[in-house]
Structure 1
Amino acid sequence: MDFELKTLTPARICAEKCDALIVLVAGETGAGTDAVSKMVTLALKAGDFENKAGKLLSAYRPEGVAATRVLLAGAGDGSAKSIRTAVHAAMVALKNTNARRVLLSLCALPQAGQETVRAAVLACADATYLYSTTKSKPVEQKLKQVLVAVASLPGSRAGFDKGVGLAKGLALAKEWANRPANHATPTMLAQAARDLGKLPGIKVEVLGPKEVAKLGMGSFMAVAQGSEEPLRFIVLRYDGGAKAEAPVVLIGKGITFDTGGISIKPAAEMDEMKYDMGGAASVLGTFRALAELQPALNVVGLIPACENMPDGRAIKPGDVVTSMSGQTIEILNTDAEGRLVLCDALTYAERLKPRAVVDIATLTGACVIALGGVRSGMFSSDDALAQALAAAGDSSLDLCWRMPLDDEYADGLKTHFADVANVAGRAGGAITAAKFLQRFAGKFPWAHLDIAGTAWKSGAAKGATGRPVPLLVDFLLSQVQPARAPAKTRTPKAGARSRA
């Protein structure tokens, strides 16, 4: 689907030929003389329409308007959140029509700034997303173009560009998370990363079992040993900053299918464990967005990818393995495997001398119980990093919530048989999982995002959400160092000498 940004007057909006015209209505509306403005005024006055976010009123071939259909969409207070609700509702309403070209008018909004335009573009993309990779017949996307109309370009262009870049990143993240495990093996995930390496500014390196063994990633290898599918350790680099600039490192959990291993999961809804690589998918999606937006910073993505299977070679409860850091781990539960692959990736990140490290993982059911599907759980050992992530969640509408990391939560990880156990008790399970990871992240500012509740939806809306790609992109953009102004040269006074 193509997006276009354009400045249009109310009269030009009425004259624009398209299959559907969506008009966002928020706050106080002016009494315009064009056909659409009159329609809005009359509908509000009659009580047939209200500008509450998500409310719709449709008309077919109204007089004085070139569009085949007109949808008035209530946008509430005009905030980015209300805009997202309004546009999503309108696009869903058009799904079963033959609309191919849609004009989305933001012109009636009091302020159509960057965040407003970005929210509108992302809502369009989300509402029209289709998965078709494993279907026998390709699913046709009828909608081909969305023309976003604004009153002024200068205040809208940056938000539009960010929205389009994010939409591409979200689509990639959803695609790979939605794929069944036999269509998203570690090898296939590595190929998806290699494809990203064809885009500007991105380089990719893929390590196999031999290279990983040479690095001493005993914890990662232990999880992978129960599967016929070979592991892959994927390293992505986006070089947009100065060569000497320390990178931000993103680590995505890449368990392409999680049976739970010997500590096997219940059969009900186990199919959803194809989403257990949602962290890896979000890293791929973030790099796709970086290739579009081209920010001036360096980013490294690390994806430890493997399956967690229960064959005769699989790790057993009570086994002790040695991580890349040298710390030994007693595996009390093989279904707590995500932290076992992430800990070696965290140790690998040390060699990159990062300015910050963020790991992203569908890690614990306990986080779903704590926060549901609204906010991702965020844990951090660094207040500045935590504040930056929280701010990025707010600005991107991809919310997170900071959780505690008190030292006492680590008491349950103590064991007589190794340096640390991989699980504690049921109480505070999301926190104790984070405390485990913290042991391997002491040499850099670190944060952990538990996206178990936000990476996918179950039930009738079953599918990947693409989160937290928007949060990660906003966070990375906030880390771009401001350009230094060139040093001013003094003009020597008459008769004065300047030193060489």
Structure 2
Amino acid sequence: HKRGALAGKVGQSLLLHNLPNIKAERVLLIGTGKEGELSDRQLKKIVGATLTCLKGLGGSDAAIALDDLSVKNRDTYGTARLLVEALADGEYVFDRFKTQKAEVRALKKITLLTDKVRIADIERASTHAKAIATGMALTRDLGNLPPNICHPTYLGEEAKALGKAHKNLKVEVHDEKKLAELGMGSFLAVAQGSAQPPRLIVMNYQGAKKGDQPFVLVGKGITFDTGGISIKPASGMDEMKFDMCGAASVFGTLRAVLELKLPINLVCILACAENMPSGTATRPGDIVTTMSGQTVEILNTDAEGRLVLCDALTYAERFKPQAVIDIATLTGACVVALGGHTSGLLGNNDALINQLLDAGKQADDRAWQLPLFDEYQEQLDSPFADIANIGGPKGGTITAACFLSRFTKAYDWAHLDIAGTAWLSGGKEKGATGRPVPLLTQYLLDRAGV
């Protein structure tokens, strides 16, 4: 340090060999910046730097001294949880379609070193973090799969496989015939242009007493979104395979809940369809009848997420839920408003909104509330039907949530718009992020009180 080899800047590293009186062959020093000022983001940066260094070293075992690590506004549990989650998520690789696979990593084990007083907190944090990272990996895998493989039927098969592996998970996959029986005219309208049939996937996890009201997660599962007849521009359209990341994040959250065996009841509803232009596709101007009985004038076929979600949200009523949270890559307007770091959050119940904001803060997977004032509802007026499916150029994230709010009057409801946070565009880092699995799992951990 006297020679200036390590200034202590965040993420800076120095490798030392054969230090006297230390069993380890090599000691890696990582800069953590000024004492007491380390933020969540900087901790993740440090983990990235550590993993990069460890990769190059080729050792099979590593130990991390936790006592030297303190993150601003986080206790032992919070720091360890963030660290383990970042380490596990940092190991994620998606090379299924590469003939040249990623190198098998030499590192097999990471040990966290601490004093006895903190062991229980760190073990609990590690258990939670590993489950969240497993859920995120599933979410990322499903998001990254190409749309010729990951279509609604494929997601249905994945759900059935999950159901077979877990006794307390009941899975139903409803086809287009069942959707017609249920009166889901809006959902069916989105799928009618595609050769891929739609699927409504319902996964019912029983972790508490039978009579306990469940929490319900509803995921938008548009496996590819061309925009339909209101077709999108060609540039970047490949990224519309990520339009099912809401459904993927519900899968991932359920995976974490199953691993943690949370003592709650949870129903996961995935509204899966492919939005394609064809001779059978929905036209701008078509009017459809939703499961709720309300009619919708489809002015733009690219505002399709809300058309599948509205029927799924009506379907959710039958479970008499404690709360319903829908998760959707819903609007480009949300990316304009909040960028790529924060999910949009709206809803009809302040307590629920605050619980989700708090969970996002704890999990370092943040959301931000946008208003759902009555004044915005007028933008959805239609001269020909009960509601129009778009509300003009202003406040697009809000008017999309206003549309959904017409179908959620029977329960406490929140809506997460993850259009900016579900995936990263372009470059080496391109791909699904696994968000908001940490936020959702934290919310359910809080409700379960574990």
- Counterparts in 2 of 1:417-428, with a 5 A limit? 417-428=384-395
**Corresponding residue for residue 314 of structure 2:** 347
2:445 equivalent in structure 1: 477
Q: Which letter does structure 1 place at the counterpart of 2:448?
A: V
Which sits farther off after the overlay, 465-474 or 83-92? 83-92
The superposition leaves residues 149-206 of structure 1 with CA deviations (integer Å, 9 ceiling, x where unpaired) of: 2223122111010011111101100000011101211111112212221135322111
Determine the C-alpha separation between the residues in 2 that align with 1:398 and 1:379: 16
Match of 1:272 among 217, 226, 239: 239
> Separation in 1 of the partners of 2:30 and 2:254?
33
Q: Distance in 2 between matches of 1:399 and 1:56?
A: 29
2:168 & 2:61 partners in 1: Cα distance? Answer: 33
1:74 matched to which residue of 2? 31
Asked whether 1:442 is paired with 2:409, we answer: yes
For 1:241 and 1:50, locate their aligned partners in 2 and report how far apart those are by CA, in whole Å: 52
- Higher deviation after alignment, 83-92 or 305-314: 83-92
1:59 shift after superposition? 3.1
Map 1:166-177 onto structure 2 (within 5 A).
166-177=132-143
Q: Deviations over 1:109-138 (max 9, x none)?
A: 358711111111111122221002222344
Displacement, 1:71? 2.2
1:12 aligns with none
Secondary structure, aligned partner of 1:440: coil
Question: CA shift at 1:97, angstroms?
Answer: 4.6
Task: Work out the percentage of aligned pairs sharing the same amino acid.
Answer: 50
Deviation, 1:139, is 2.9
1:163 counterpart = 2:120: no
How big is the shift at 1:83? 2.8
Counterpart of 2:229, as a letter, is I
1:250 to 1:60, Cα distance in 2 relative to 1, 3 A: same
> How far did 1:336 drift?
0.6
Matched, 1:365 2:329: no
Q: Deviations over 1:185-243 (max 9, x none)?
A: 11111122122211353221111111111111111111011111111111111211121
Structure 2 gap segments, 5+ residues each:
none
Structure 2 counterpart of 1:21: none
> 2:255 corresponds to which residue?
288
Note the C-alpha offset of 1:81. Answer: 4.3
**Which SS does the other structure have where 1:238 is aligned?**
strand
Name whichever of 335-344 and 46-55 sits farther off. 46-55
Taking a change above 3 Å as real, the CA distance of residues 49 and 299 of structure 1, as seen in their structure-2 partners, is same
Q: Which residue of 2 aligns with 1:134?
A: 97
Equivalent residues, number: 439
Rounded Cα–Cα distance in structure 2 between residues aligned with 1:444 and 1:464: 31
CA distance in 2: counterparts of 1:190 and 1:458, whole angstroms: 27
User: Counterparts of 1:102-251 in structure 2 under 5 Å?
Assistant: 102-109=62-69, 113-142=76-105, 143-152=107-116, 153-197=119-163, 198-199=165-166, 201-251=168-218
2:12 matches 1:55:
yes
- C-alpha distance in 1, partners of 2:413/2:70? 40
Question: 1:156 is paired with a residue of what secondary structure?
Answer: helix
Does the 8 Å contact 1:75/1:85 carry over to 2?
A: no
- For residues 300 and 134 of structure 1, the distance between their equivalents in structure 2, rounded to whole angstroms, comes to 32
Asked whether the 8 Å contact 2:135–2:253 carries over to 1, the reply is yes
Moved more, 439-448 or 191-200: 191-200
1:62 Cα offset (Å): 4.7
Aligned partners of 2:205 and 2:82: how far apart in 1? 25
SS in 2 for 1:301: strand
Q: Tell me if the contact between 2:70 and 2:79 (Cα under 8 Å) persists in the aligned partners.
A: no
Matched residue of 1:300: which SS? strand
In 2: Cα distance, 1:75 partner to 1:302 partner: 42
Deviation of residue 443 (structure 1)?
Answer: 0.7
Alpha-carbon distance in 2 for matches of 1:116, 1:80: 8
The worse-fitting range, judged by mean Cα deviation, of 392-401 and 209-218 is 209-218
**TM-score, scaled relative to structure 1:** 0.84
**CA separation in 2, counterparts of 1:161 and 1:396?**
14
Deviation at 1:105, TM superposition (A): 2.5
- Secondary structure of the residue aligned to 1:183 is coil
Aligned pairs for 1:294-333 within 5 A: 294-333=261-300
Q: Which residue does the alignment assign to 2:422?
A: 455
Q: Which residue number corresponds to residue 405 of structure 1?
A: 372
Kept after mapping to 1: 8 A contact 2:174/2:200? yes
Secondary structure of 1:253's aligned partner: strand
Partners of 2:417 and 2:95 in 1: CA distance:
28
Q: Is the 8 A contact 1:92 1:127 kept in 2?
A: no
Cα shift at 1:66: 4.6
Report what 2:54 is aligned to: 94
**Distance in 1 (alpha carbons) for counterparts of 2:363 and 2:24:** 32
Whole-Å separation in 1 of the counterparts to 2:283 and 2:46: 51
Question: Of residues 34, 38, 44 in structure 2, which corresponds to 1:84?
Answer: 44
CA separation in 1, counterparts of 2:53 and 2:275? 41
